[in-house]
Structure 1
Amino acid sequence: MLLRATAEISFNSIVITDKQHNIVYANPAFCRMTGYSLDELRGQNPRILQGPLTDPQVIEKLRHGLEDRGFFSGSTINYRKNGKPYLLEWTITEISDDADEPRFFLSVQKDITQLDAEQTTGNLFAKAIDAAYDGIFITDAEGLIEFANQGFEIITGYTPAEVIGHTPSILKSGKHDEAFYERLWRYLHEGLPFRAMVINRHKDGREIHCQQTITAVKRANGTISHYVSIIKDMTDRVFDELKLREQASHDAMTGLLNRRGGELELEVSLIQCEETSSTYCIVMADIDNFKAVNDTYGHPRGDEIIKAVADILIENTRKSDKCIRWGGEEFIVLLPFCDMDRATRIAENIRTDLAAMTFEEIGGVTLSLGVTDYTSDDTPKTILERVDHLLYQSKRTGKNRVSSEQIA
Structure 2
Amino acid sequence: MVDVRARYIMLLHVFARPSPMSRSTPAHMSTSPAPARAGRLAWAAVAGGLVRAGPVWGSGAGEGGLAPTVVAAGFLAIAMVAATIVVVRYVGRLRRRAAALDAACAADPGFVFVFRRTSSGAPRCVYRNPAAKRLCSESFTADPLRFAAELVAAAFADGQAHSNESALDTAAGRRTVRWSACAVADAVRPIRRVTLRGRDRTEARDDEAQRQLATAVLAQTRDCVLVTDATGRIVLVNQAFCDTTGYRREEVIGHSPSLLASGLHERSFFRAMWEALEHEGAWQGEVWNRRKNGDLFAEALSITALRDETGRVSHYVGVSSDITAQKAQTEQLQHLAHYDPLTHLANRALFHDRLGHAVYRADRTQGRIGVMFLDLDGFKAVNDSAGHDAGDHLLQEVARRLVASVRKADTVSRLGGDEFTILVEPVLEVNQIVAAAERIIAAVNRPVTVGEETFHVGVSIGIAVYPDHATSVDGLLECADHAMYQAKQQGKNRYVLHASGAA
TM-score range, shorter chain: 0.5 to 0.7
Q: How does 1:174-323 map to 2 (within 5 A)?
A: 174-190=263-279, 192-248=281-337, 252-253=347-348, 255=350, 258=353, 284-285=361-362, 314=409
The answer for the alignment partner of 1:146 in structure 2 is: 235
Residue 129 of structure 1 aligns to a residue in which SS? helix
2:150 is the alignment partner of 1:65: no
What is the Cα deviation at residue 149 of structure 1? 3.1
**Gap runs ≥5 in structure 1:** 51-58, 263-282, 288-293, 301-306, 316-348, 370-408
Q: Residues 27, 112 of structure 1: CA spacing in aligned structure 2 closer, same or farther, 3 A cutoff?
A: same
Whole-Å separation in 1 of the counterparts to 2:330 and 2:433: 38
The answer for the alignment partner of 1:76 in structure 2 is: 165
2:262 is the alignment partner of 1:173: yes
What is the Cα deviation at residue 181 of structure 1? 1.3
Cα displacement string for residues 44-83 of structure 1 (whole angstroms, at most 9, x for unaligned residues): 2431x47xxxxxxxx54552233211x5342322324338
The code of the aligned residue for 1:67 comes to A
TM-score (norm 2): 0.47
Q: How does 1:152-163 map to 2 (within 5 A)?
A: 152-163=241-252
The answer for the alignment partner of 1:392 in structure 2 is: none
Structure 1 or 2: larger helix share? 2
Cα displacement string for residues 198-232 of structure 1 (whole angstroms, at most 9, x for unaligned residues): 11111222211112222334434443333332332
Whole-Å separation in 2 of the counterparts to 1:34 and 1:16: 14
Residue 119 of structure 1 aligns to a residue in which SS? helix
Residue 205 of structure 1 aligns to a residue in which SS? coil
* Larger displacement relative to structure 2 (236-245 or 358-367): 358-367
2:115 is the alignment partner of 1:26: no
Cα displacement string for residues 16-59 of structure 1 (whole angstroms, at most 9, x for unaligned residues): 3443444444333335556539xx765x2431x47xxxxxxxx5
**Count of aligned residue pairs for this structure pair:** 288
Whole-Å separation in 2 of the counterparts to 1:252 and 1:62: 88
2:463 is the alignment partner of 1:365: no
Select the structure with the greater relative contact order (CA < 8 A; seq sep ≥ 6).
1
Residue 162 of structure 1 aligns to a residue in which SS? helix
The code of the aligned residue for 1:46 comes to L
Cα displacement string for residues 222-253 of structure 1 (whole angstroms, at most 9, x for unaligned residues): 43333332332211111111121234467624
**Gap runs ≥5 in structure 2:** 1-98, 340-345, 365-370, 376-401, 411-424, 438-460, 472-503
The answer for the alignment partner of 2:204 in structure 1 is: 115
What is the Cα deviation at residue 169 of structure 1? 0.6
The answer for the alignment partner of 2:105 in structure 1 is: 7
What root-mean-square deviation, in Å, do the aligned CA atoms of Structure 1 and Structure 2 show?
Answer: 4.5
Whole-Å separation in 1 of the counterparts to 2:116 and 2:322: 66
Cα displacement string for residues 314-366 of structure 1 (whole angstroms, at most 9, x for unaligned residues): 47xxxxxxxxxxxxxxxxxxxxxxxxxxxxxxxxx958568986798877532
The answer for the alignment partner of 2:145 in structure 1 is: 46
Cα displacement string for residues 101-122 of structure 1 (whole angstroms, at most 9, x for unaligned residues): 6554433321112222333443
Whole-Å separation in 1 of the counterparts to 2:134 and 2:262: 58
What is the Cα deviation at residue 257 of structure 1? 8.9
